[in-house]
Amino acid sequence: MPSKKRIAVLTSGGDCPGLNAVIRAVTKKAIFEHGMEVIGVEDGYEGLIYNKFHKLEGLQVSGILTLGGTILGTSNTANPYRQAVKRGKEIEFQDVSKTAIANLKKMKIDCLICIGGDGTLSTANKLSRDGVPVVGIPKTIDNDIRHTEMTFGFSTAVEIVTEGIDRLHTTAQSHHRVMIMEVMGRRAGWIALYSGVAGGGDIILIPEIPYSMNWAVQKVKERNQSGKRFSIVVVAEGAIPKGGQMVVRKIVKESTDPVRLGGISFVLAAQIEKLTGIDARAVVMGHLQRGGSPNSFDRVLTTQLGTRAVDLIVKKEFGFMIGVKGNDFVNVPLDKVDQGPRLVPLNHPLIRSAKSIGTSFGDS
């Protein structure tokens, strides 16, 4: 009798609403429909490198559809092809991919499902080239993965930020202030754009459109003169002033993508106060955007992505990420995904709509 197919699943990179919902969908379908064995890899690629595996049963994934975070744990520094190892005070990077692949073989894993963002999928692509049967599932609140119109977690993050902007309106209106909401998005401004429009932001600043302080200030002044004595600014953490730089908060040396941004809202608040004389306050949404339960849209999307990943395994179609296209799913070769972030196109219809109702993007 042929032995049971044994698949492994890992979640890697920043956490994101919906990770557990994908784990649940993969595990339930693999076990109930196909009689497979499912192995959870702990802490993303760290588990592959340091042999951290445990079996997942139906019972363990029951009741986690709505649970935030990931029951498997994650790491946004582990990378089998560039693993940081401490040598005294220094950090050295080593290629430990052979160990990781050998660990998968020892565990008799037939296929690995990698759930993560661009960094995770780039590593998945390398593993695939090195002969590991891999299926990728795109995850990130930033929504910036190529060849998928949507990543899970994005919709929930936009909803959380929108609620935050709604609440900022109260103080903005009562105190006649400029309230600045800083959201995640290092290179791509999807969260700022969607939540900014949903929350009725007056100025939306995204990394794709370098802003000028003159335009931002003019908008605030115009609103004041017309009797609207408050303004709401929504800014992506990676927004850049014309001819200027991003605001870097921290460098995480061990990470493949070491730059951590944050703090642009405070810089903007100080500049707006100085240039307009109007009181300004900054709020950083931060990791609240990644925490907690996925919304209904993300629960549906993750269930579809997880079950579809098992379909690919059954059909032996490896080396693909499952992308969203219109109302359907497409298999995208991992090679095509590994080509930088998906930015907001400058002619995006939502930018045009927002501009047509007077929203400023700091460029005019």
Using CB under 6 A as the criterion, which residues of the chain lie in contact with ligand F6P when the complex forms? Answer: 14, 76, 117, 140-142, 184-186, 237, 260-261, 290
Taking the C-alpha atoms of residue 73 and residue 116, their distance in angstroms, rounded to an integer, is: 12
In terms of CB distance, is 142 or 202 closer to ligand F6P?
142
To the query of whether residue 110 is one of the catalytic residues in this protein, the response is no
Tell me how far, at minimum, the Cβ of 210 lies from ligand F6P, in Å. Answer: 19
Taking the C-alpha atoms of residue 329 and residue 310, their distance in angstroms, rounded to an integer, is: 14
Token duo for residue 228: 């609207």
Tell me how far, at minimum, the Cβ of 105 lies from ligand F6P, in Å. Answer: 31
Tell me how far, at minimum, the Cβ of 31 lies from ligand F6P, in Å. Answer: 30
**Strand pairing category for 178-183 and 280-284:** parallel
The answer to whether residues 7 and 112 touch, using CB atoms and an 8 Å cutoff, is: yes
Taking the C-alpha atoms of residue 185 and residue 265, their distance in angstroms, rounded to an integer, is: 13
Tell me how far, at minimum, the Cβ of 186 lies from ligand F6P, in Å. Answer: 5
In terms of CB distance, is 156 or 231 closer to ligand F6P?
156
| Nearest residue to the partner ligand F6P, using Cβ | 184
In terms of CB distance, is 110 or 254 closer to ligand F6P?
254
The active-site residue out of 15, 43, 118, 142 is 142
**Quick one: the chain helix, strand, coil %, rounded to 5?**
40, 20, 40
Tell me how far, at minimum, the Cβ of 290 lies from ligand F6P, in Å. Answer: 6
Residue for token pair 């197919």? 5
In terms of CB distance, is 185 or 201 closer to ligand F6P?
185
The answer to whether residues 79 and 122 touch, using CB atoms and an 8 Å cutoff, is: no
The answer to whether residues 184 and 341 touch, using CB atoms and an 8 Å cutoff, is: no
In terms of CB distance, is 217 or 284 closer to ligand F6P?
284
Q: Is 8 exposed, middle or buried (0-12, 13-18, 19+ CB in 10 A)?
A: buried
User: What is the set of active-site residues?
Assistant: 142
